[in-house]
Structure 1
């Protein structure tokens, strides 16, 4: 049992060293790379303790050790060795419903887990959203066109459990290793359920090959989704970071996608957009840089380290980008604005600005909530430019 005390002390040490300057998963990798004495089981146990600590957000008033143990109790449904050692009464009750478990942990206030309730989009159920942080999100994948049957067959042969969420969407336990089972990007892409649902807002094009600009392309999830939806696309992708575009090019190559244009551009700089020229697009996809607050179930350290003033910084950047890129939508064309944020200032307020300053009409707007099914929460709005302006 001594190794359990060691795990607990190591977790406390890690939390004392972590300052939030880099993503916690990167910090953990660096820590364990320097500390070779920890085996894979040790790393998994220590990491789980830390992540469950962060899942309590700002709702915990206990010391570090009690918060670690409280996280292990509230965020698990199966007996835990560390609890059997230090909190056997909790361990005996670990399968109780969450509401009953919370009553046994008086130093956790579920209403304070998420620290920015006042900033939430109005349609979010505050209590359900806050409690969702105590449950690790699932791994969602989207099968590529024509690959659904073979992906399911390979998973069944490998005895990997999965749930069918939609025609091309499968849900698996978080952390499931698929790299030796399936061909990434060729047979499937890793994409959250609600990120996949953004595709339902894509407009219909009856004739020709639509000209599409994925202006904040990042890892290319929306780019691949557009190709899989429209089949034939005149695609332009851009990002401000050369390294990101390089990684995107490799990913698109794996996905069998070629013949697109790639541009490095700062979308917040109106003069820099001269590299686009006078071209206008049938569809501009603006998956804007944001707080990522709708995905913090996957990065729960943000509950502790994100600062409220960052919301306004992101909102200002989003407003600038949205107005700048909207000018490249042809009359009658479309702008798809999306974020993985739950904040009004990053979502509804930006759309209100677009429609107030540019000749756009909202076709469909959706707050894609995921907190009832261990998925991310996203926001997406499809706007159409007036045919003649």
Structure 2
């Protein structure tokens, strides 16, 4: 039976996955080694694995087949295998996730959110614990940010391609995860970037006008620089990261977006920088637990030790202490994490204020779980005399 064969593939992947690489990379390698699998089977297998890691912790007392069936049910995935399992376990369709969870609680042993997500006590103030936990069961939308001046071109191509956003907030549009966007000429030409809604919202922390020289000190592939340059094209940027590959990707993206006023430098902020630059502003999108993105990468929740929260908080504080000497007096520091944990967010903001001679202007948790997006934190500081 085809359904059983696919299920065996999924359970075999789960048994062999050791969390040493992201799940999507592991699946790509698996499919390269099993070229006999067709595209439809690959989609079902991928869906099954991600559904399992999103939900299966709730069903620790069940068999692997039951855990997969109930995980498919909670995530609302519909495919050949899920339909087979729904019929086998008499799972009737429910529209809302809380209705599906309630139905499972009546018929099987379901753990509480506290058991499935044992980090609730660490969440930042203002995060709705139940809403955040429920969001982990659903894959977020794919969000895009359109460059100024290219709105009509992108809209026309989306219309011609019969691609419709599920939702639009401000200048951001969200699409179902299965939507193919990277093959569009608008994307290839750099007219829009794929960037999560909450990530785009961090720009709202900046004042109406910024100028001068800015340092994107943990730049990754340049997403924050691209966003700021789109709004403030006169700003000059230095992008640094300790990974050559992401800096190469940043350069490709910046050129494609026609951003010219930048420099790129490989830099390890575990050491004190040796250059003499003084900046008007610094963007620090610091390394973090990534807990605000676990709905996209649910496998990371399975392998997470809560002691890492303190480790990341110390790393973040050390990075800021390394870069603050290069910020001019009255200069701005934009501190960003993709974490949902207070220790990396508002508690670290308090430490930064006291230890780094900074005045906190504003801070905000971006509740991505309300928008099918990532949950993030950002705060803006001004350097004192």
| 1:190 matched to 2:194 | yes
Structure 1 match to 2:225:
223
Scaled by the length of structure 1, the TM-score of the pair is: 0.93
Residue 358 (structure 1) shift: 2.3
Give the corresponding residue for 1:127.
Answer: 130
* Residue in 1 that maps onto 2:379: 381
Q: CA deviation at 1:82?
A: 2.5
Q: Which residue of 2 aligns with 1:248?
A: 250
Task: Tell whether the 8 Å contact from 1:115 to 1:303 is kept in structure 2 after alignment.
Answer: no
Aligned partners of 2:190 and 2:141: how far apart in 1? 21
Q: Find the partner of 1:213 among 212, 215, 231.
A: 215
Match of 1:76 in 2: 76
In the alignment, the residues of structure 1 paired with residue 294 and residue 72 of structure 2 have an alpha-carbon distance, to the nearest angstrom, of 18
Confirm whether residue 321 of structure 1 aligns to residue 319 of structure 2.
Answer: yes
Match of 2:234, SS?
coil
RMSD over aligned CA atoms reads 1.7
1:354 to 352, 355, 361: 352
Gaps of 5+ in 1: none
Q: Which residue of 2 aligns with 1:107?
A: 109
User: CA-to-partner distance for each residue in 1:52-92, whole Å, 9 max, x for gaps?
Assistant: 011115322122211111111111165x4334434317666
Give the Å deviation of 1:189.
0.4
Give the secondary structure class of the aligned counterpart of 1:58.
helix
Question: Relative to structure 2, which stretch is displaced further, 112-121 or 126-135?
Answer: 112-121
In 2, the alpha carbon distance for the partners of 1:262 and 1:83 equals 47
| Counterpart Cα distance in 2 of 1:295 and 1:233 | 29
Residues 355-385 of structure 1, C-alpha deviations (whole Å, 9 max, x = no match): 1012211111000011122110000000011
Matches of 2:56 and 2:64 in 1, distance apart?
A: 12
Question: What does residue 156 of structure 1 align with?
Answer: 159
Aligned length: 379
- Mapped pair 1:344 → 2:342: yes
C-alpha displacement of 1:293: 0.6
Quote the offset at 1:351 in angstroms: 1.1
State the 1:165 CA deviation: 2.2
Q: In 2, distance between residues paired with 1:233 and 1:201?
A: 17
**CA distance, structure 2, for counterparts of residue 382 and residue 224 of structure 1:** 19
CA contact (8 A) 1:366 1:381 kept: yes
Q: Tell me the alpha carbon deviations over residues 314-336 of structure 1, each in whole angstroms, 9 at most, x when there is no partner.
A: 11110100121122211111000
Q: Which moved more, 1:253-262 or 1:80-89?
A: 80-89
**Corresponding residue of 1:43:** 42
Task: Give distance in 2, aligned partners of 1:130 and 1:182.
Answer: 37
**What is the deviation of 1:280?**
1.6
Q: Which secondary structure state, in structure 2, belongs to the residue aligned with residue 9 of structure 1?
A: helix
What do the CA deviations read for 1:166-191 (whole angstroms, capped 9, x no partner)? 34211111131123324326210000
Per the alignment, do residues 14 and 92 of structure 1 end up closer, same or farther by CA in structure 2, a change over 3 Å counting? closer
Q: Distance in 1 between matches of 2:125 and 2:37?
A: 45
- On the 8 A contact 1:363/1:383 being kept in 2, the answer is yes
Distance 1:341 1:280, change over 3 A: same
1:260 to 237, 257, 262: 262
Structure 1 residues 134, 90: closer, same or farther in 2, change over 3 A? farther
